[in-house]
Amino acid sequence: MRTITRRELLTRRAVLKGSAAAGLVVGVPGMLSAQAKAPINIGTLCPLTGAGGSYGPDMQRAVVAVVERINKAGGIHGRPVQLFHEDDQTSAEAGVRAARKLIDVNKVVAIVSTWASAVTLAVRPLCVEAQVFLIGVSGADAVTQGEHKGYVARTQPNTKLQGSMYAKFVVSKKEWKRVAYLALQTPYARSFGDAFSGILRAAGVTITDDLIYEDKKPSYRSEVTRILATNPDLIMLEGYTPDSVVMAKDIYKAGYKGAVLAPSFAVNAKFIEGASAEVSEGIWNMDRAPLFDSPAYKDFSAAVPRNDTSPYAPQAWDQMSIVALALAAGKGEASGTVIKDNLRAAANPPGTVVYTFAEGAKLLGEGKKINYEGASGACDFDAIGDILSAPFAVQQVRKGKSELVTIINP
């Protein structure tokens, strides 16, 4: 071991002294400058893999883009936002473990952009208990029902609402008189089906069959045989992409010549690639329409270039913006409770309409009221955290691509 030179010793001492001084500044509690810099931790819990794996990455990018803008605008009450990302693998158990880490280790005050209903439902009790705010795109009715003390909200219409919008479209197409409902086993299959069928029956449409099928099967031949035997003109196929691909192929192979309606989050570019353009030709698909004309949507599109028009990334964009604005509407403390208490102040009327965090924060700073309108819609929340209804975009696959056909308004 060689001896340390005098020069090294001096530099070392200088470094030590310097860091000690810095440590003193950071370590001493109550010093205003230190407190102002302490970041606000927010967690994202998206499906980067699994059945929802097509959507997670864009949702995550949208949140990152919003946070960049927030920090550039000076942060929330001067504090920067720090993001922690986790992959829920579109699985409830993985989601719970990831949420545990976000809440316990990273100490986030909010978890945004959850996707699958099963994950949101599983993670909800943890968030409520820890007073962490939870906001996502999951549609199952149960997400906002029951005891959540206001710590839960979502930017996607609940399944009852969705079911009614799909039904509205079907009724408008007078040639479909016999409809079969074919859904994947999920937390929302039943409530969607009931809402959908109920309205159709009232409009004089016959529901020829109602079948809920199991996930992850390589072939659905027997299910398809049963459904086709009831002679439907339209099959309402409510699943996720992987199973919908298999089901669509089996329906095609069995010689079905009628129409198929499915959610756009299932019949996306990946679906068309997997099922083939021939099988996909003519499949109707719909989903909540992003607010294409809104300045927020334009802002979002510029910041998050992507290949599809799914509504999730715009919602993730809005969720982060709303959470930030709710915190900005508070007094400076950052917690899930502050978000919960100020959510509607930030997002609902009355107030000046704002489309970005920067605008909203400025007005809040001046003591004015705001009403955030976002890329995904007006984002106005009711008492239990649901959004008021939204328009839906109807598309049809033509020559290998989904094309917009019409908008269904609530």
Partner 1 sequence: MIAYLTAILTLVGVRALLTLGLNVQWGLTGLVNLGAIAFFAVGAYTSALLAVGGVSLLLAWPAGVALAAGAGAALAIVALRLREDYLAIVTLGFAEVLRLFLLNEAWLTRGANGVTAIPRPLHAWFPSQYHLFYLILVLAALGLVYAALERVRRSPFGRVLRAIREDEVVAAVAGKPVFRFKVQAFALGAGVAGLAGVLFAHYLAYVEPNMFLPQESLYVWLALILGGSGNNRGALLGSLVLLGLLEGSRFAKDVIPFLTGVRLAAAQQILVGVVLVVMMIRRPEGLLPETPGSK
Partner 2 sequence: MPPIAQYVFNGIVTGGILALPTVAFSLLWRLLRFPNFAVSTYLTVGAYAALALNAGARAPLEAAWLGALLATGGVALAVDRIAFRPMRDRRPFSLAIASIGVAFVLENVVRFVWGNDFRAYDVPVTRAASVAGLRIGHEQLLILGVTVALMALAQAFLLHTRLGVAMRATADNPLLSAVKGVPTNHVIAVATFGGGALAGGAGVFLGLDASIDPLMGGGIIISVFAAAILGGIGSAPGAFAGALIVGIVEETGTLIVPPTYKTAIGFVIILAVLLVRPSGLAGSRS
- Specify the stretch interacting with partner 1 by CB under 8 A; choose among 67-75, 180-188, 286-294, 353-361: 180-188
Which residues sit opposite 110 in a β-bridge?
A: 42, 133
Distance from C-alpha of 127 to C-alpha of 33, rounded to nearest angstrom: 30
Q: Residue from 61, 124, 154, 249 that binds partner 2 (CB under 8 A)?
A: 249
In the window 36-75, what residues touch partner 2 (CB under 8 A)? 49-50
Number of residues in contact with partner 2, rule: CB under 8 A? 31
Closest CB 157 distance from partner 2, rounded Å: 28
Does 129 bind partner 2 (CB under 8 A)? Our answer is no
DSSP, res 103: I
Closest CB 152 distance from partner 1, rounded Å: 12
Does 223 bind partner 2 (CB under 8 A)? Our answer is yes
- From residue 51, alpha-carbon distances to 157, 271, 280 in Å are 20, 12, 19
Neighbours of 1 (CB within 10 A): 3
In the window 311-350, what residues touch partner 2 (CB under 8 A)? none
Q: Residue from 40, 45, 51, 118 that binds partner 1 (CB under 8 A)?
A: 118
**Closest to partner 1 by CB, 87 or 386:** 87
Does 96 bind partner 1 (CB under 8 A)? Our answer is yes
Closest CB 224 distance from partner 1, rounded Å: 19
Q: Residue from 29, 204, 255, 367 that binds partner 2 (CB under 8 A)?
A: 255
Whether the Cβ atoms of residue 220 and residue 227 lie closer than 8 Å to each other: no
Cα 64 from chain centroid (whole Å): 14
Does 8 bind partner 2 (CB under 8 A)? Our answer is no
Distance from C-alpha of 69 to C-alpha of 298, rounded to nearest angstrom: 15
Q: DSSP per residue over 3-53, as a string?
A: PPPHHHHHHHHHHHHHHHHHHHHHHSTT-HHHHHHPPEEEEEEE-SSSTTT
With CB under 5 to 8 Å by kind, the binding choice for 276 among partner 1, partner 2, none is partner 2
With CB under 5 to 8 Å by kind, the binding choice for 279 among partner 1, partner 2, none is partner 2
Closest CB 195 distance from partner 1, rounded Å: 16
Does 217 bind partner 2 (CB under 8 A)? Our answer is yes
C-alpha torsion 10→15→20→25, nearest 10: 130
Does 274 bind partner 2 (CB under 8 A)? Our answer is yes
| CB contact burial 73-100 (16+ within 10 A = b; e otherwise) | bebbbebbbebbbbbbbbbbebbbebbe
Using DSSP, state whether 371 is helix, strand or coil: strand
Does 87 bind partner 2 (CB under 8 A)? Our answer is no
Burial class (CB in 10 A: 0-12, 13-18, 19+), 69: middle
Does 221 bind partner 2 (CB under 8 A)? Our answer is yes
Print the binding letters for residues 135-174 with partner 2: x by CB under 8 A, - otherwise: ----------------------------------------
Q: Residue from 187, 232, 242, 336 that binds partner 1 (CB under 8 A)?
A: 187
Closest CB 244 distance from partner 2, rounded Å: 10
Does 219 bind partner 2 (CB under 8 A)? Our answer is yes
Could you tell me which of 7, 86, 6, 90 has the C-alpha nearest to residue 47? 90
Could you tell me which of 377, 375, 361 has the C-alpha nearest to residue 326? 361
Closest CB 140 distance from partner 1, rounded Å: 7
Could you tell me which of 346, 298, 338, 295 has the C-alpha nearest to residue 319? 346
Could you tell me which of 233, 224, 228 has the C-alpha nearest to residue 284? 233
Could you tell me which of 324, 357, 362 has the C-alpha nearest to residue 343? 324
Q: Residue from 188, 252, 265, 312 that binds partner 2 (CB under 8 A)?
A: 252
Listed as own residue / partner, the contacts of 223-228 with beta carbons closer than 8 Å and 24 or more positions apart are: 223/182, 223/247, 223/250, 224/250, 224/251, 224/254, 224/256, 225/254, 227/180, 227/182, 227/251, 228/254, 228/255, 228/256
- Specify the stretch interacting with partner 1 by CB under 8 A; choose among 98-106, 166-174, 218-226, 289-297: 98-106
- Specify the stretch interacting with partner 1 by CB under 8 A; choose among 2-10, 116-124, 338-346, 398-406: 116-124
Which parts of this chain interact with partner 2 (CB under 8 A)? 49-50, 185, 211-214, 216-223, 225-226, 228-229, 242, 245-246, 249, 252-255, 274, 276, 278-279
Q: Which residues make up the interface to partner 1 (CB under 8 A)?
A: 48-49, 53, 87, 89, 91-93, 96-97, 100-101, 104-105, 118, 121-122, 124-126, 140, 142, 146-147, 185-187, 189-190, 214
